[in-house]
Amino acid sequence: MAENVPSILDQGLNLDALVDQRGLFWDRLVRVFVYAAAGVVAFVFLAMVWQLVRLGAGQLSWSFLTELPQNAGREGGIFSILISTLMILGVCLAASVPLGLASAVLLAQTQRQTLFAILVRRSLDVLAGVPSIVFGLFGNAFFCVYLKMGFSILSGGLTLACMALPILIRTMEMAIRSVPQEVHHASAALGMGPIRTWVTLILPAASGGLAAGLVLGIGRALAETAALIFTSGYVDRMPESVHDSGRALSVHIYDLAMNVPGGEANACATALVLLIILWLLNSLTHRLIGRWLGRRLIYT
């Protein structure tokens, strides 16, 4: 039987002759590279997190969170650091949220691209790219020296507010824009004034997205180190007011790792605390964004 099959069909069924061998080779090569990259990246990052856990988890306990640091942070906990961090964050949000929300409302309101809106947007884009150490220089010269606030939680918080503004405004503007135009029209048709429309309709409708922006801003501020070293300072004592110097979690990690021999374990433990807080905030953001904005946000 087999001898009766025409040889031409034999050739036709020969897939090897049809398929571009070079193309297949590249196909395999690219696939190997992609899988290798995915595997190596996953491995390296898992190793990183696991090593931080191995070095730091032994230190973690309830008393680590509630005790004051002792012996330059080698022993004791991070209570005063946590309080300082919260105070810096509080100052940052108190300054940046009203300013950011008002700016976002204005930018979202301008239907046409006015020159003013373009200039504000462009300068915010540049602001988003300014290196954090430059914010540190600026905060030191402006808040600490020029406005005579000294090394204080106030200076640090205000510097962070400048840093967090671009991301706050960008996400909040998107949240406001995601409210359907019909809501504006309906409220205008009912004769509601602009202020009542915004306070009772638009902002509540955008609240999920606004909250997502807020949480992103908090994450950005918590992760920051370089801008804080020369504005809110190093002091690890319990701050009594916003005019005292206070050490943020991130600065504590840096100081323990670099300037305190034998501080690595507590540095890793503090890093774990920071990571857990940030990852909780991250999952909160994702739930908020998933519910209110679709998946339009970019991670910067």
Q: In the window 56-95, what residues touch another protein (CB under 8 A)? A: none
- The residue within the footprint of another protein, chosen from 130, 205, 260, 284 (CB under 8 A), is 130
Report the Cα 131 to chain-centroid distance in Å.
Answer: 15
164 near another protein, judged by CB under 8 A: no
222 near another protein, judged by CB under 8 A: yes
187 near another protein, judged by CB under 8 A: no
Residue that has been written with the tokens 């976002």 in this structure: 104
Cβ distance to another protein smaller for residue 198 or 292: 198
268 near another protein, judged by CB under 8 A: yes
- The residue within the footprint of another protein, chosen from 193, 204, 262, 290 (CB under 8 A), is 193
201 near another protein, judged by CB under 8 A: no
The piece of 67-75, 80-88, 117-125, 201-209 that touches another protein (CB under 8 A) is 117-125
107 near another protein, judged by CB under 8 A: yes
Cβ distance to another protein smaller for residue 205 or 257: 257
212 near another protein, judged by CB under 8 A: no
70: Cβ contacts below 8 Å, ≥ 6 apart: 76
Closest separation in Å from C-beta 235 to another protein: 13
211 near another protein, judged by CB under 8 A: no
Let me know: does 252 contact 228? Beta carbons within 8 Å.
no
- The residue within the footprint of another protein, chosen from 75, 76, 83, 142 (CB under 8 A), is 142
Token pair, residue 90, equals 């509080």
Cβ distance to another protein smaller for residue 2 or 17: 17
194 near another protein, judged by CB under 8 A: yes
- The residue within the footprint of another protein, chosen from 69, 209, 213, 219 (CB under 8 A), is 219
Site for another protein in 21-50 (CB under 8 A): 23-24, 26-27, 29-31, 33-35, 37-38, 40-42, 44-45, 48
- The residue within the footprint of another protein, chosen from 65, 83, 105, 192 (CB under 8 A), is 105
Cβ distance to another protein smaller for residue 224 or 244: 224
